Amino acid sequence: MKADIRVALVGNPNTGKSTLFNALTGLNQKIGNFPGVTVDKKVGYCQLPDGRNAEIIDLPGTYSLYPKSRDESIVFSVLAEKETELTPDLVVVILDATNLKRNLLLYTQVADLKIPVIVALNMIDLANKAGVIIDTDLLAQKLGVPVVQVSARKLQGIKELKDTISFANKFALQQDSIDINALAPGLISAISKEVKTDNPYFALQLAHQHETLKFLSPAESERIEELEKQHSFHSQKAQAAETIARYNYINDVLYDTVKTPVTAQDESHSNKIDKILTHKIFGFVIFMGILLFMFQSIFAWSQYPQGLIEDAFVWVQGALRGVLPAGPLTSLLIDGVVAGLSGVLVFIPQIAILFAFISILEDTGYMSRVTFMMDKIMRKVGLNGKSVVPLIGGFACAVPSIMSTRTIENWKDRMITIMVTPLVACSARLPVYTLLISLVVPSRNVWWIFNLQGLALTGMYVLSLVSAVIVAWVMKFILKSRERGYFIMELPVYRMPRWNNVAFSMYERAKTFVLEAGKVIIAVSVILWVLSSYGPGDRFKNIDAKYSQPQYAKSMNPDSLTRVISTEKLENSYAGVLGHTIEPVIRPLGFDWKIGIALITSFAAREVFVGTMATIYSVDGDADRIDSVQQKMRNAKRPDGSPVFTLGVAFSLMMFYAFAMQCASTIAVVYRETKDWRWPAVQFAYMTLLAYGAAFLVYHLLK
């Protein structure tokens, strides 16, 4: 879509920026990446009252133009880089009226870049309720920019904001805030001359951030570095002086525009909730309760929609088989592509429900309390309070969780979190566990209420958390870092979740999951189908020739003959040859070559296991009917007649799936986030070693 004007939304976290973005653009938005970095770029469009079309870019929330995390560093680049496809014509700065002072810091920085600015004053109703009176006209006059009162949640003031955007000037008219040249005399004019800018604040920001800015050439960056040395520039000191000067200016602005009640207000609503939710004992009890409820609901609520999806696929496969002529292409479509698709889509309910919970916990402000309560424990094991969020998210899927570690500013804490998150039992392991547990653990109650199978599953989940904590603790001693960790974080006021944001996040995450994981799983299903349908040389031809001899047709009924043929073909297919090749390595774990095939294919994605088992044990009909797969696996015998899936083998397999890094998407995302192949390589190696060791141990203990 061609836009007539480009508008960037800038603001502190928790100011309702995303809500305002949704209110302005509706569902007319798309999420992509900023060029060169994996920071989510949300772009939407809105029709202005004068008929023009505005492109709205939602920039990551930040407290200042000096970035503390990767996401925040994009804000200055987008605002300052000239004439790119992202350079805004206008910036809307969202200010939280209940906390104007801290919010104005970012405003003054943006304003000093001399881009046309509009202020959107959000949550004015909440401020009024707390007794804060803001003289908006005087504020607008003092700042020299339009100030629009909005309530993004109640959709008030959106029309006025659109009006103001359409009337906005092409030139920046805001008042100067502070004397920038005084912060680094000499250096600013030298840099200005060097990069040919007439904006002193832009020049000062280059002095601070030139090392990380992508739009500067290495030569320019080097030149700026030299100038800094000449003028003995100290970045942190200059930044401290700037912040103090800015707050002095802000205090001047607020002096006669904002009236706050002198009398101490009553204990706030939020404070009362905090007393319970961060209580010494209740705090942890409630947190555990919420987690338990979350997992119960994920399993309970997803059962019905999952059943529907499975049934739908059975129907589709049946219908396709009826319509299409039999042949290798039909088989590829039905047993490869459609079977693979159903393996992906069946996870949608779980992912959607988990992300609904996570977005509710974040939206209400509870997640930051969890961080607050857990920081001390997490720090003991080499993590950070903020690691709790990705670890909990890891129960759904490691991919988005690893992306969410960007909020952890400290490099070492972030790396350790990334390294251990894939150990947490993700939803892709669930079908593997349920299949194997129902195979070997009897479904009977102990102590009246606890089902033995349920206990085994809970045990696997607890094991995953414990192992993540232990590995993190070990890595704390291995990783070296000079950077200091800190935990300076806003505890936002409790708010009701915004249900359309929750719905939007469910939709967005499910879509990402289907697209990202779906590609891999379908590709693997197709490759697996090819590998198991064809064999080297004329082995297949020989098998066909052998069984077409009359004595077989006489002594066996046609059904079992087909089965014997397909089993022998599988053993001689490329997949079978591969399985036999690795058999010596996995025999100590109790696995045979058939399980070996499943292990190999599962290295692309764990959920492929069930489908592979189904294909390998030549199940007739649908590959994802767990019942029939289970029956086949129960009947599977070794050459000597003993069952393949004993207690030892099943638990050994579960251990392998618990620890091994069997997920191509996670490997890819770890590389994207760390920008170094060594991280995913080390992760893959240590997890495979752990998996092998644990499986070996468990097999020999339970054999």
Partner 1 sequence: MTLSQLEIGETGIVKEFTDLEMSVKLMEMGCLPGEEVRISRIAPLGDPIAIHVSGYQLSLRRFEASTIILQ
Residues in the annotated binding site for Mg(2+): 22-23, 25-26
Query: If binding means CB under 8 A, how many residues of this protein chain bind partner 1?
Result: 44
Known binding-site residue numbers for GTP: 11-18, 36-40, 58-61, 122-125
**Span 68-87, contacts to partner 1 by CB under 8 A:** 68
Chain-centroid distance, C-alpha 517: 13
Name which position in 75, 105, 383, 604 contacts partner 1 (CB under 8 A): 105
- To partner 1, the closest distance from the beta carbon of 15 in angstroms equals 11
Cβ neighbours of residue 319 under 8 Å, at least 6 residues apart?
none
**Is residue 237 close enough to count as binding partner 1 by CB under 8 A?**
yes
Phi/psi of residue 50, nearest 5 degrees: -85, 10
**Span 520-539, contacts to partner 1 by CB under 8 A:** none
**Is residue 15 close enough to count as binding partner 1 by CB under 8 A?**
no
Name which position in 154, 193, 269, 275 contacts partner 1 (CB under 8 A): 275
Measured distance CA(319)–CA(370) in Å, rounded: 50
Q: Which stretch binds partner 1 (CB under 8 A): 45-53, 237-245, 390-398, 621-629?
A: 237-245
Name which position in 34, 347, 355, 372 contacts partner 1 (CB under 8 A): 372
195 vs 245 by CB, closer to partner 1: 245
Name which position in 133, 173, 182, 244 contacts partner 1 (CB under 8 A): 244
30 vs 376 by CB, closer to partner 1: 376
**Is residue 279 close enough to count as binding partner 1 by CB under 8 A?**
yes
Q: Across-strand partners of 56?
A: 7, 44
Strand-strand pairing, 450-451 and 445-446: antiparallel
229 vs 280 by CB, closer to partner 1: 280
58 vs 375 by CB, closer to partner 1: 375
To which H or E segment does residue 92 belong? strand 90-96
Measured distance CA(470)–CA(492) in Å, rounded: 32
Q: CA distances (Å), 463 to each of 441, 467, 605, in order? A: 17, 6, 21
**Is residue 272 close enough to count as binding partner 1 by CB under 8 A?**
no
Concatenated DSSP letters of 24-88: HHTT-EEEEE-TTS--EEEEEEEE-TTS-EEEEEEPPP-SSSS-SSHHHHHHHHHHHS-SSSS--
User: What single DSSP character describes residue 422?
Assistant: G
The residue to which tokens 């459609």 are assigned? 338
3-class secondary structure per residue, 215-282: CCCHHHHHHHHHHHHHCCCCHHHHHHHHHHHHHHHHHHHHHCCEECCCCCCCCCHHHHHHHHHCCCCH
Measured distance CA(191)–CA(200) in Å, rounded: 9
Q: Which of 585, 621, 579 is nearest to 602 (CA)?
A: 579
Chain-centroid distance, C-alpha 34: 16
Q: Which stretch binds partner 1 (CB under 8 A): 328-336, 371-379, 644-652, 680-688?
A: 371-379
Phi/psi zone of residue 114: left (φ > 0), alpha (ψ -120 to 50 degrees), beta? left
267, amino acid identity? E
**Is residue 93 close enough to count as binding partner 1 by CB under 8 A?**
no
**Is residue 368 close enough to count as binding partner 1 by CB under 8 A?**
yes
**Is residue 494 close enough to count as binding partner 1 by CB under 8 A?**
no
**Is residue 66 close enough to count as binding partner 1 by CB under 8 A?**
yes
- To partner 1, the closest distance from the beta carbon of 289 in angstroms equals 15
The residue to which tokens 């020299």 are assigned? 144
Q: Which stretch binds partner 1 (CB under 8 A): 266-274, 443-451, 560-568, 679-687?
A: 266-274
Phi/psi of residue 180, nearest 5 degrees: -70, -40
Q: Which stretch binds partner 1 (CB under 8 A): 348-356, 373-381, 563-571, 611-619?
A: 373-381
**Is residue 240 close enough to count as binding partner 1 by CB under 8 A?**
yes
**Is residue 491 close enough to count as binding partner 1 by CB under 8 A?**
yes
Name which position in 2, 170, 229, 484 contacts partner 1 (CB under 8 A): 484
**Is residue 274 close enough to count as binding partner 1 by CB under 8 A?**
yes
**Is residue 487 close enough to count as binding partner 1 by CB under 8 A?**
yes
> Is there a contact between 112 and 79 (Cβ–Cβ < 8 Å)?
no
**Is residue 67 close enough to count as binding partner 1 by CB under 8 A?**
no
> Could you give the angle at which helices 664-674 and 678-702 cross, rounded to 10 degrees?
140
Q: Which of 479, 511, 328, 499 is nearest to 410 (CA)?
A: 479
257 vs 662 by CB, closer to partner 1: 257
- To partner 1, the closest distance from the beta carbon of 165 in angstroms equals 28
Name which position in 2, 170, 232, 236 contacts partner 1 (CB under 8 A): 236
**Is residue 276 close enough to count as binding partner 1 by CB under 8 A?**
no
**Is residue 288 close enough to count as binding partner 1 by CB under 8 A?**
no
Q: Which stretch binds partner 1 (CB under 8 A): 40-48, 239-247, 579-587, 653-661?
A: 239-247
126 vs 463 by CB, closer to partner 1: 126
Name which position in 493, 589, 658, 695 contacts partner 1 (CB under 8 A): 493
To which H or E segment does residue 476 belong? helix 452-478
260 vs 434 by CB, closer to partner 1: 260
Q: Which residues bind partner 1 (CB under 8 A)?
A: 63-64, 66, 68, 98-102, 105, 236-237, 239-240, 243-244, 247, 260, 270-271, 274-275, 278-281, 283-284, 368, 372-373, 375-377, 385, 484, 486-493
